[in-house]
Structure formats: structure tokens, C-alpha cells
Structure 1
Amino acid sequence: RNIGLAKSRVRTLNFRRANFQLFKELLDGIPWETVLKGIGAEQSWQLFKDTLLRAQELSIPQQKKLSKGGGQPAWPSKDLQLKLKKKREMYRKWKQGCVAWEEYRGVVGMCRDRIRKHKAQMELNLVRDGKNNKKGFYRYIGRRRQSKESVPPLINEKGELASSDMEKAEVLSKCFASVFTGGRASHVCQDPEPLGEGERSGIPPTVTVEQV
């Protein structure tokens, strides 16, 4: 029986071989004002999404997704990985009583020192080659960041504070839907009063409505 033996093949977009000129022509050739006239926000979004995905399929090829090493740090070299493997083996032998504690601690200290030096050298190389390897530099910075920025609390058209994820999503959804309905557009704006250096405003962004 061959059930369950099929392997999943994940594919991603290959932007290096994309034909962006064709992608632009496919979208520019559609009279959006005429096509979207008289239909609701949901239908407009679905039509735009289907058209965008169709243009993407025709102009951007796909490729097999490459593995990124299972979440390993960006800096270990082949030699350092062998040292870490030796440290794990020494730990197992110490737990089994085959080696002394001092011998195991010596290997741990050597690995820690090698890791610090190798990491410092890798970061120095990233800084020196930042202009030629911007992708690698920002990838490393992104992995080092512990927290990600989130959407701040918003004030809806009723003047109520939207702090939960669901409430903020509803406020932003109404702003997006207003683009396609009624000729009125909403936008999220900050407090217009300028802030001094190092100061932060305690007033959350508000959603206002303007006539288009």
C-alpha cells in the first residue's frame, strides 16, 4: 500500500526569475474603477485578490523551498559544530561516570571561549561587508530581536478605545472597506501636536473620516 508514503513538496515564489514587467502590464490593463464600480467591499477584495494571484501565477515562477537548518544559530561554523558535538559526547560520558567532572568542565570552557570568539568575528565580518551583504546583515539582526512591534491602541469613529486584537482588526477593516464604499476614506493618524526629543505621546492613534 502506498497510502501515507507521498512526500509533501512545499514550493515558494522565485522572485529572481520573475517577470515584473508582465506582472505590471497584467494589472495596469484592467480598468479598476469600472470593474469595481457598484459592488461591495468583500466582492471587490475577492476580485482584486483573484486577479493578483492570477498575475502572480503567470509572471512569477515557483521553486522548491530550501531548508534553513532547523532553527540553528546563524553563526556556527563546521569546526565549531564539531566542538559542540564533542561537548555533548563528553556530557553523556560524564553522566555515565566515564570521565571526570574537571575534564568535562575543561571542554565546556573551551567551547564557550570558541563560541564567543567566533560570534564576535562573524559580527565583525557582517559589519565590514554590510554594503555588499545587506540581506545577510538584516537577517542576522532580525533573528537577534527578541520582540516584535505591535499595532498600538486605536480610537474608532465613536471615540472608543480599541485595545484588543479583535477590536483593532475591526477598526482597520472598516478603514479598508471604506475605500470601496460610499466615496469616504478612513485613515489612522497620530496626534498632530509635535513631540519633543525623547518624549512619547500618551494619546493613541485615532481613526478619522475624510471626504474624498
Structure 2
Amino acid sequence: MFSHFQESRAPSRGQREKIRRAKAKLELSLAAAIKDNKKHFFKYISSKRRAKENLQPLVDGGGNTVTKDEEKAEVLNAFFSSVFNSRADCSLGTQPLELEDRDRDQNGAPIIQGEMVSDLLHH
């Protein structure tokens, strides 16, 4: 049975290698011809970009919902700068109670608390 599995995997490995070589050849030819044909190069590059999804609304320190990108950046900046700049003393070997609670709703929105992140970073 294992040999049958290996036999069925062999063609797919060969096909993957052919695809890798063809992709490398295409990218090399696009890079070599960039001076003559910029449009094809940038079209290929733009096709490889992943679509950026919008960040969901955030809640700032005052409990207000933030929807604008600039405000979201400020909230995230304030949160992470406070986490990385605080010098709280942590004892090693302790686990926050939030991590020990296994009965919480797994499908709910994640709750990120600055103290918990700081504790985990210091461990």
C-alpha cells in the first residue's frame, strides 16, 4: 500500500518541478525584457499581489468604535507601543488565567488585552 502511495506521488512531484521551472523561466524572461516591455512585467507583478482586506472596526481606549484607517493606525500604534514600552515584572512559569480558560466561545471575536500580551512577551 505504501509503495502504491509513493508511485501515485511520483508524477505529481515531477509536474510540480516542471511548473516551478516554467515559472522561473517566465519570470527570468520578464525581468530580462523589462526595458523593452514594461507593461507585461508590471501586469505580471500586479497579478501576483494579494488583495488587501479591510481591517475590521476597532475599539479605542475610551470604548469608541474606530472606522477610519488613520484612527485604526493610531489605536494599534498606541496599543503596541504601550505593550512594548511597559516594563512589568513577570515571574517565570506562570500562565495567565485567560489562557487556562478552555470553556470560552471559540468562534467569538478574539479579545486582546495589553497585560496578557505583555506577560506573554516577557515569558
**TM-score tier after normalising by the smaller chain length:** 0.3 to 0.5
Q: Which has the higher strand share?
A: 1
Q: Which has the higher helix share?
A: 2
Query: TM-score scaled by structure 1?
Result: 0.25
Larger Rg, first or second structure (1 or 2): 1
